[in-house]
């Protein structure tokens, strides 16, 4: 069952753990919230019938347990070695959200999940660690560590997605690349990174739900998908939006972050982020061209069976195309 009672209970508990971590006033409460989030996410992604999902759940548990252990150990030493403890906590939070150089587990765990669980991993599960790490930017050592992690995440996220045939790994490396933008916007101000995260979560959800409806997990699945041209077109526009192509919605948060970085004179980091975005756009365009030009023959009854998802398609259209309306709204205002 997709929405069984126990899964609903674990999902609500997962959200509660995230809210507890974000609103906590001490590292102990933050750790409790992270553990509640972890213990709720593991039953959601594990499965008795699918060994790959169980393996992904075990890998995720071990990594998150290591990060939680580092947080507990470092928080006890805050009064003695404050700078070292805060730096260790920042490393643990970077490990928990899969930022470079602690990204090694993220694509492997993504590969063992279905699209619904992968959506949670790329959006909700990053929320609490990112809020907690934003509280550490006042420390100079943490600031340098976050900036270095953002630079490496931009490079690894762009290069790692090349020559990948798995759609889940492509979105995993894309998520690592987007984390670099969010980390740099976090160093500037909280408003810009929250805007970036919300828009990124909406666009990523639209892509994963479209792939879920097509049951596409690899290039070949997307090419041979028995669906209408409209569904493939929506999928391609969603990918372009995630890559930050200017007419689409994904360009808006990157535009905001670029303006803030220019204002703060982070020119070298901005050039690195823009160059990495060009590389990610390359493999999005490669995926789009392959999917559209190598279409599988379709039957008429297949196209007529997609009317059920038409309201969902309209929502996905709006998520990725409302960026086209922004210049008109600014002109009217």
Question: How confident is the model over 80-99, as pLDDT tens digits?
Answer: 888 888 899 999 999 998 88
Paired residues of 147 in beta bridges: none
Tell me what pLDDT residue 283 has: 81
Q: Which parts of 4-136 are beta strand (E)?
A: none
The three-class DSSP label of residue 166 is strand
Tell me what pLDDT residue 149 has: 92
Nearest to 174 by CA among 120, 129, 222, 239: 239
Tell me what pLDDT residue 154 has: 92
Domains held by the chain: number: 1
Nearest to 186 by CA among 142, 133, 140, 251: 133
The boundaries of the domain holding residue 96 are 5-332
Mention every residue, 6+ apart, whose C-beta is less than 8 A from residue 58. Answer: none
Top-confidence range, 30-39, 224-233, 243-252? 30-39
Question: How confident is the model over 271-311, as pLDDT tens digits?
Answer: 999 999 888 888 888 877 776 666 555 554 444 444 444 56
Place of tokens 């190598």: 294
Give the integer Cα–Cα distance in Å for 100 and 15.
25
Tell me what pLDDT residue 306 has: 44
């Amino acid at each position: 069952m997709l929405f069984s009672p126990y899964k609903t209970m674990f999902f609500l508990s997962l959200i509660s753990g995230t809210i507890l971590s974000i609103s906590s006033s001490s590292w102990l409460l933050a750790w409790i919230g992270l553990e509640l989030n972890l213990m709720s996410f593991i039953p959601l992604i594990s499965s008795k019938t699918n060994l790959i999902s169980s393996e992904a759940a075990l890998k995720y548990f071990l990594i998150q347990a290591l990060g939680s252990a580092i947080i507990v150990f470092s928080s006890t030493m805050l009064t003695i070695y404050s700078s070292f403890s805060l730096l260790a906590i920042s490393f643990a939070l970077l490990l928990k959200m899969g930022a470079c150089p602690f990204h090694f587990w993220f694509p492997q765990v993504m590969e063992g999940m279905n699209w619904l669980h992968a959506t949670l991993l790329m959006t909700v599960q990053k929320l609490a660690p990112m809020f907690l790490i934003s509280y550490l930017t006042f420390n100079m050592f943490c600031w340098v560590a976050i900036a270095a992690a953002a630079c490496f995440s931009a490079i690894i996220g762009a290069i790692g997605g090349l020559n990948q045939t798995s759609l889940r790994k492509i979105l995993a490396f894309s998520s690592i690349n987007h984390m670099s933008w969010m980390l740099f916007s976090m160093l500037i101000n909280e408003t810009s990174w929250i805007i970036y995260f919300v828009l990124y979560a909406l666009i990523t959800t639209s892509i994963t739900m479209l792939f879920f409806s097509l049951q596409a997990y690899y290039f070949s699945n997307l090419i041979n998908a028995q669906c209408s041209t409209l569904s493939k077109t929506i999928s391609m526009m969603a990918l372009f939006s995630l890559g930050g192509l200017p007419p689409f919605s994904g360009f808006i948060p990157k535009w905001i972050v670029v303006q803030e970085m220019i204002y703060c004179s982070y020119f070298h980091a901005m050039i690195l982020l823009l160059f990495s975005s060009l590389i990610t756009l390359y493999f999005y365009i490669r995926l789009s061209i392959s999917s559209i030009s190598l279409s599988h023959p379709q039957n008429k009854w297949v196209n007529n069976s997609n009317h059920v998802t038409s309201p969902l398609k309209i929502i996905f259209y709006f998520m990725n195309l409302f960026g086209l309306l922004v210049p008109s709204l600014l002109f009217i205002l």
